[in-house]
Amino acid sequence: MKATAKQTGIQGRIINVASNTHHRSDASFFDVDTINDKSKYNRLVAYGHSKLANILHANALSKYLKEEGSNLTANSLHPGIVPTNIVRYINLNTTLLKILAFVAQPILKSIPEGASTICYLALHPKVKGVTGKYFINCKEAIPSKQARDEDLAIKLWEFSEELLKRSNKKVS
């Protein structure tokens, strides 16, 4: 992407899909030695952790890209509540799921509506040069305090590098 952006002069845009459920994360997943401990796993907590990690990653990547002077941006977003197949991982009976879907109907977004902020960040001239930000409904929004923590973003970056080093050693 860096080479293409430099060669063409067209800014590249990296977009991480997150979620407002990142507010539920306490960032306790930053322990390389226990990250795969099945006894501590909770799928809803893990989902919140993963969405916080997506925001932190975009923020750290944005910082590194700026420092390099590359013609790339990195942002994250909450697409809204979109009825996708993610519910197949929730252990709810079909009747309860149908009731929840009916009650949630007023706040659900269609798939095109959920994709609108992604398309906005990828294509709209108003966000040219905007980087390291979080968006909801095609507008910049303020994520959780943890998601704005630059030290935590760097810690995640270093944590990810450590995981990669460990996995490369296992492959060798």
Cα–Cα dist 65/8, whole Å: 17
Strand partners, 81: 108
Domain count for the chain: 1
- pLDDT, tens only, 89-117: 655 566 766 676 667 667 778 888 989 99
Model-level pTM? Answer: 0.85
In which band, very low, low, confident or very high, does the pLDDT at 81 lie, cut at 50, 70 and 90?
confident
Q: Which domain holds residue 28?
A: 2-171
Mean predicted confidence (pLDDT) in 64-78: 97
| Look-up of token digits 């996708």 | 84
**pLDDT over 80 at 57, yes or no:** yes
Output the domain CATH number for residue 49: 3.40.50.720
C-beta separation of 101 from 83 below 8 A: yes
Pairing of strands 12-17, 72-78: parallel
* Ordered DSSP codes for 74-133: EEEEE--B---GGGGGS---HHHHHHHHHHHGGGB--HHHHHHHHHHHHH-GGGTT--S-
Residues forming the active site: 41
Q: Which residue has the higher pLDDT, 39 or 32?
A: 39
Nearest-Å Rg of the Cα atoms of the chain is 18
Amino acid at residue number 138: C
